[in-house]
């Protein structure tokens, strides 16, 4: 995608549930698969399909399975800053 078609944003999560679940697939990276209404993630502007790019500045590879990304997030502790990429077509 062209850079103009991509929006990057970060959300800082404190204590408590983040409010999303992740999924992954070949060539799509780790993406938000489900989002809880009114959750940290929802209020932070996340949308289903947003791709997780980094956790506290540590890059999430396009080939990483979502289970590994969850381990990275848990290992980071709280607060944690997640950077997402959204394709805006």
pLDDT digit string, tens, across residues 36-84: 999 999 999 999 999 999 999 999 999 999 999 999 999 999 999 999 9
The string of pLDDT tens digits covering residues 22-49 is 999 888 999 999 999 999 999 999 999 9
Indicate whether 3 pLDDT > 80.
Answer: no
Contacts of the segment 66-74: beta carbons below 8 A, 24+ positions apart: 66/22, 66/23, 66/24, 66/30, 66/33, 69/22, 69/24, 69/30, 70/22, 73/18
């Amino acid at each position: 995608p062209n850079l103009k078609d991509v929006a990057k944003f970060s959300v800082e999560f404190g204590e408590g549930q983040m409010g999303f679940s992740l999924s992954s697939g070949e060539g799509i990276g780790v993406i938000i698969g489900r989002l809880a209404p009114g959750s940290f993630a929802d209020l932070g502007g996340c949308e289903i399909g947003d791709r997780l790019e980094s956790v506290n500045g540590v890059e999430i590879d396009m080939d990483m399975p979502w289970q590994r990304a969850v381990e990275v997030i848990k290992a980071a502790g709280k607060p944690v800053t997640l950077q997402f990429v959204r394709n805006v077509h």
